[in-house]
Amino acid sequence: MQISVQIVVRTEVDEQASVTEIAHLEREGFDAGSLGLHLDEAKALLGRLQRSMIDAQAAEAIARVSVCPQCGSRLTVKGHHRLVYRSVFGRLSIDSPRLYQCRCSGSGRRSVSPLASCLRERTSPELQYLQAKFAALMSYGLTVRVLGEVLPLEHVLAATTIRRRVATLGRRLESSRAAVAVEQRRCTDLPAGRCNIPQHSIVRAVGIDGGYIRLAGHSSRQDGWFEVIVGKSLRDDGSGHSFAYVHTLEHAPVDRMLAFLAQESVAADQPVTFLSDGGDTVRRAQLDFGDCGDCVLDWFHVAMRVQNLEQMIKGLPDRDERPSVDVLIDVLRRAKWHLWYGCPYPALRRLEGLSWELDADCSLEEAKLLARLEEFIGYIENNQRFIVNYGDRYRHGEPITSSFVESAVNQVVSKRFVKRQQMAWRPAHAHDLLQVRTAVLNEQLRSRFEQWYPALAASNQAHHIAA
């Protein structure tokens, strides 16, 4: 059997339709190996289809721009050069004439390259999108191999171009986020005076946590890591979106939070709760968000530390000069009870009372317990502003734990950045990749591209109608 694939192009310029054969296929027999189109044939076919389509579009555009729109006379060609355009279906070279401007414009013998000025970006938005989407999920080298396997992209992609793409796109996402923040600030700066009670928002809390990424070019263990802050929203239906950034590179955290909340459809006057485990960097990050919301210390971390202390008390050897293990446990549980009801001061008094009963010189177990208890007291003191009435929140179905963001740290950071120990990153590049990766994980990257290139959304709709 002989199969030929032709494309027929009708333009407004030519009355006669042009027919080009783009593939000729031969098949014998009927078995799994010979049935239908092979991947190599499909790649070649798509490549040639793209070539023919772009040639036709370029020819039509050249015919249109070669005539003066004012007087209708033909413009003189000064010369030709080639534009290189990278698309999902291969790298193409497009003829781009340089034309003298018409005498009627009065601008002398100036020349212009109309196609070059129409085509400012030389990589198609869809190729940019695909490169970024895969690079957010897997290594740059693997991205090149996977895309080259299924699309006619041989010699089009390289790990270094993917890396540059990620950096450019990360910065583009950051600047569109900054624009949202400016808009949000305008909303929050509206004069007060409206006393409407805000509607309940669908975001129940925003969890904030930290992760570490290995620093490139560092061998010493101490300074070999940098911190990344990850946040995730928790919605009524249990779903949520993430954001992430390199802590030292964030100079406007309030703007980041304003933009994130706007994206999550939280209005400027709707209350938000931030939940975190109260670690030092995370606490600072949380305070950086200013008036965007109320900070709450994660209950799970408090309860876990108390449970750990209780286990240590149970392991203490008996001693006459000290109250019994049961009495010590009772004091600890009362402290926990105060914390549960949002009263850090009586809790701290009880914990300090407990520490006075202990003597580090008596046994190793007691010394360890005392050290751990003092650390816990410090933790509660540092976070006392964020200890709320957990019992009350719990009864009202409000979230009291940030565990939902811990899995987000794993998803956003660990799986891409620290999967293998030898993966090391420069902070600025990690920051860019984090912007792309969160957009991909949040399933927002495609809609960003459709905002930037509305023709993409239009072709999507046309496709759906045709289907």
Alpha-carbon distance of 174 to 221, in angstroms, equals 31
Q: Where are the alpha helices (DSSP H) in 13-99?
A: 39-65
* Min dist. Cβ of residue 116 to Zn ion (A): 21
Q: 104 vs 327, which CB is nearer to Zn ion?
A: 104
Residues 173-212 that bind Zn ion (CB under 5 A): none
Judged by CB under 5 A, does residue 104 bind Zn ion? yes
**Token pair listed for 90:** 């291969």
Judged by CB under 5 A, does residue 371 bind Zn ion? no
Q: What is the DSSP string of 402-453?
A: -HHHHHHHIIIIIHHHSSSTT--B-HHHHHHHHHHHHHHHTT-HHHHHHHH-
Alpha-carbon distance of 260 to 246, in angstroms, equals 16
| Tokens 């070279």, located at residue | 93
| Binder of Zn ion out of 31, 33, 40, 70 (CB under 5 A) | 70
* Min dist. Cβ of residue 114 to Zn ion (A): 14
Judged by CB under 5 A, does residue 75 bind Zn ion? no
How many residues sit in the footprint of Zn ion (CB under 5 A)? 5
Q: 100 vs 341, which CB is nearer to Zn ion?
A: 100
| Tokens 């949002």, located at residue | 342
* Min dist. Cβ of residue 100 to Zn ion (A): 11
Q: What is the DSSP string of 216-241?
A: TT---TTTSEEEEEEEEEEETTS---
Which region, judged by CB under 5 A, interacts with Zn ion, from 51-59, 63-71, 165-173, 409-417? 63-71
Which region, judged by CB under 5 A, interacts with Zn ion, from 62-70, 193-201, 292-300, 374-382? 62-70
Which region, judged by CB under 5 A, interacts with Zn ion, from 9-17, 100-108, 219-227, 404-412? 100-108
Which region, judged by CB under 5 A, interacts with Zn ion, from 98-106, 186-194, 224-232, 394-402? 98-106
* Min dist. Cβ of residue 64 to Zn ion (A): 14
Using CA atoms, how far residue 190 sits from 194, 204, 252, 279, in Å, is 10, 25, 20, 35
Judged by CB under 5 A, does residue 107 bind Zn ion? no
139 DSSP assignment: -
Using CA atoms, how far residue 257 sits from 149, 230, 280, 440, in Å, is 40, 12, 19, 19
Judged by CB under 5 A, does residue 220 bind Zn ion? no
Q: Determine the Cα angle at 454 with ends 450 and 456, to 5°.
A: 65
Query: Beta 111-112 vs 90-100: how paired, if at all?
Result: antiparallel
Identify residue 202 by its one-letter amino acid code.
I
Judged by CB under 5 A, does residue 287 bind Zn ion? no
* Min dist. Cβ of residue 76 to Zn ion (A): 11
| Binder of Zn ion out of 49, 65, 99, 102 (CB under 5 A) | 102
* Min dist. Cβ of residue 118 to Zn ion (A): 20
Judged by CB under 5 A, does residue 71 bind Zn ion? yes
**Token pair listed for 40:** 């190599």
* Min dist. Cβ of residue 69 to Zn ion (A): 8
Which region, judged by CB under 5 A, interacts with Zn ion, from 99-107, 156-164, 177-185, 347-355? 99-107
Binding site for Zn ion (CB under 5 A): 68, 70-71, 102, 104
